[in-house]
Chain A
Amino acid sequence: MRNDLWRLFSWLGVAFGFPWLFLVLLPYVKQSSAAPVPYAESDEAGFVAYPDPNMVRAGASDYGAEIYRREGCAYCHTQMVRPTYAGPDMWRPGWGGREEEGLARETRPEDYIGEGYAQLGYQRIGPDLANVGTRLTDREKLHIQLYNPRANTHESIMPGFRHLYRLVPADGRDAALKLEGKFAPEEGFVVVPTPEAEALVDYLLSRRKDAKLPASIRPAVAEAAPAEAPAQ
């Protein structure tokens, strides 16, 4: 009986051990030790390495990442741009990054270095946010999007994250959101962002996964180069 049990256990362990080791553990370890790839002189990138070490966990956006996580944004937003053979993501204006500058591309593992957990997302009920920082640069608009999405887009089903904002008496503050018409707060009051909201907006502005790739790793993505995406 004893032997039976151990034999069964061993086989079950082997059956599971293989994928556990080769699919999960080794790629994980390999990725955790991945170092930024230095740019060559000829890349003319303006940074020392890809991904830009300064962009990795830039200041306040770190706290913003926590807010993004806590609020569950990833249940509606992805941060993953698929190559053209896997979906038309890059054809959507701005999703792949700055097209005019020839930088739009699909996202790569290195783009997420330092994030701990890449918010690739569960569903795409709202737009992909991998490069939202390159296409929405207006803080004010982002705050309004978070406070009351319907003030930006009438048909939006994004929930408003009111608890990240405070309704305060209007005494000449200039940090208040410009909400007009039926979205305006009651007379004599204004809506101001909390530090959480500011951090979250910093985080959104830091979503720019379109850094130019060093020539040394570029061939790997050559077949999905954004050049083939139709002009906007």
Chain B
Amino acid sequence: MSLDLNQATPEDIRERAAIDRSVRYPVLFFFTSAAAWLFVATLLGFLSGLKLRVPTLWEDCPWLGYSRLFPVHMLALVYGWAMQAGLGVMIWLMARLTRNELKNPVTVIVAGHLWNAGVAVAVITVWAGLGRSMPWLDFPVWVAPLLFIGYLMVTLWLIPMFRARRAGEVYVSEMYLIGAALWFPWIFATANLLVGDEGAATMSTGINAWYMSNLIYFWFAPVALASAYYLVPKIAGRPIHSYPLAQVGFWALAVLAGWTGFQRYVGGPFPAWIPAVSGAASIFIIVAVVAAGANFWFTLRGRQKLWEYSPTLRFTLFGVLMFLAYAVLSGVSSFFSLSQVLQFSHFVVGLDTLAVYGFFSMAAFGAIYYIVPRITGCEWPSPTLIRGHFWFSTYGIGTVVLTMLVGGFAQAGQMNQWDQAFVRSVEVANGWIVGRIVAWLLIAAANLGFFYQLALMFIGRGRRSAGPTLIHAEPGSVGSAEEAVALAGAGGHH
């Protein structure tokens, strides 16, 4: 992969600036409204945890019941924040990779409004009591077209860009973006058409689980990896370690992801081969994640220290690491020995949160830290807030995953003591649920700083500087000359 890393000519710089200008408004629109949804989702995550721990709070208000807050929290997190941030990343990345200006920023902004309207309607209807107990698909079926059309109106523009790209090899990032653009409408339409109030009963439920897993592996993963494959080499200041390895990882994901998902219901009322095949696929898919992770590792070899300085690199790598954790945990937890205990336990929430926040959101933050200075022309105001954003997020997601993992073992282990009262399993889990509450508080704290900075950037009140904002050192005081060069290449304004 021959990215023109540090040798940007003046024309290159002008060209990039023009591209960045062309995507500026749509991308900023997506990032800021995504951030607003993230705030809502974080609050709902906190409230739903609180309601689980203290069920007697606000008992007369149906809107504040756990079984409304939790699905609404997930909808806001997945569609409002994660997918919307991902859409912004997709447009910017495709424009940069193919060196095309976005011809139709207005349509994209209109589409963005449509998407937001879809999310808002989804959230409000489910909250108001029209939900369907279908994780990530709870909204009434007529909401789906809003999201579907909004999505297509954004991603269709990626295709002419891809076709008008300069001659040469197809970058892996481009393949991931095209994959994500194509796969999401397919899985989303499939899920919304097949999963409903009529039709095959247990297959509908299975397809719901399949949809969740596919959204993670066929959309979150490609978008996050597209961004990582672009950003890691940029920041390392050298091309990606191995193009063939990247290809292997891509195709492994493409071939396997569609088979995952049904393992959520192992032992369930399905033809037995279905969850078994899903379980196997969810083990093998670890290969795809390891391939990507190894590639980044070797690309950075000898320059790992950059992780300490570059916010982009730090968030991105952390996201990739969490992706690995997710893949491994979801794979091994489909073995009978573990599924006996963990299936349906609190661990489920930990795992889903790990995918959406630990993995995808962190990778998306990495991309946002890179993209926003380029499209706004100013730098992030405060390294302290970036640091806080990272550490609070890390502790937050660590807390959710660990407490839900350990709590899940405790809860379901107790439940499996079949001769003891069921409610013991409830009591055992109570303490661990506190972890979930604290975690969302930590994540909320993390993101307050992020919102504040993003808002400043949005109104053009960022730092005016030639160098990027680094986590620890101001540019110039970086340890070695090599790092300084790499960072300048990575962060320098254009």
Contacts and interface: CB of A to CB of B under 8 A. Distances in A.
Interface of A: 1-2, 4-5, 8-9, 11-13, 15-16, 18-20, 23-25, 27-32, 34, 68-76, 78, 80, 82-83, 85-88, 91-93, 106-109, 111-127, 149-150, 153, 155-163
A24 B251 CA distance: 20
B469 interface: no
B422 to A, nearest CB: 5
A30 B326 CA distance: 32
Nearest to B48: A75
Interface string B180-193: 00110010001000
Contact of B259 (A19, A115, A121): A19
Contact of B182 (A13, A120, A122, A160): A13
Nearest to A147: B59
B262 A74 contact: no
Among A88, A91, A122, A127, chain B packs the most CB atoms within 10 A around the CB of: A122
Task: Count chain A CB atoms within 10 A of each CB in B208, B210, B251, B418 and give the residue with the most.
Answer: B418
Nearest to B252: A15
A161 B271 contact: no
A82 to B, nearest CB: 4
Contact of A122 (B55, B135, B165, B200): B135
B269 A12 contact: no
Given A72-B133, A120-B265, A28 B52 contact: no
Given A92-B418, A117-B197, A80 B182 contact: no
Contact of A23 (B59, B66, B277, B426): B277
A76 B67 contact: yes
Contacts of A71: 65, 67-68, 129
Contact of A15 (B194, B255, B344, B418): B255
8 contacts: A72-B65, A75-B67, A92-B418, A106-B267, A117-B201, A120-B269, A159-B55, A159-B65
Nearest to A86: B267
Contacts of A4: 170
B418 A23 contact: no
Interface of B: 51-53, 55-56, 59-60, 62, 65-68, 70-71, 129-135, 138, 159, 162-165, 167, 170, 175, 178-179, 182-183, 186, 190, 194-205, 207-208, 210, 218, 251, 254-255, 257-259, 262, 265-271, 274, 277-278, 281, 336, 339-340, 343-346, 348-349, 412, 415-416, 418-419, 422-423, 426-427, 429-430
Given A86-B340, A157-B430, A72 B71 contact: yes
Contacts of B269: 80, 106-109, 111-112, 118, 120
A86 B267 CA distance: 5
Contacts of B270: 27, 109
Contacts of B349: 123
Contacts of B255: 15, 18
B183 A86 contact: no
A31 to B, nearest CB: 4
A35 B313 CA distance: 56
A31 B339 contact: no
A116 B199 contact: yes
A156 B178 contact: no
Contacts of A69: 131-133
A85 B204 contact: no
Contacts, number: 236
Contacts of B135: 75, 122
A39 B344 CA distance: 34
B194 A82 contact: no
A31 B55 contact: no
Nearest to A2: B163
Contact of A1 (B165, B418, B427): B165
B175 A86 contact: no
Given A15-B254, A116-B204, A123 B344 contact: yes
B267 A161 contact: no
A123 B52 CA distance: 13
A124 B52 contact: no
Contact of B201 (A29, A70, A116, A125): A116
Contacts of A88: 340, 416, 418
Contact of A28 (B56, B194, B423, B429): B194
Contact of A157 (B199, B203, B415, B426): B426
Contacts of A111: 269
B267 A82 contact: yes
A16 B200 contact: no
A230 to B, nearest CB: 8
Contacts of B56: 150, 160
Given A71-B67, A157-B430, A119 B205 contact: yes
B202 A112 contact: yes
Contacts of A28: 194, 199-200, 203-204, 207
A124 B60 CA distance: 24
A20 B278 CA distance: 12
Task: List the 6 closest pairs (A to B, CB-CB), nearest first.
Answer: A86-B267, A72-B67, A19-B258, A31-B200, A112-B201, A82-B267
Contacts of A75: 66-67, 70-71, 133, 135
Given A75-B71, A115-B201, A109 B271 contact: yes
A163 B53 CA distance: 21
Given A27-B203, A108-B269, A153 B60 contact: no
Contacts of B200: 27-32, 34
B133 A86 contact: no
A210 B343 CA distance: 22
Nearest to B344: A124
B132 A120 contact: no
A27 B70 contact: no
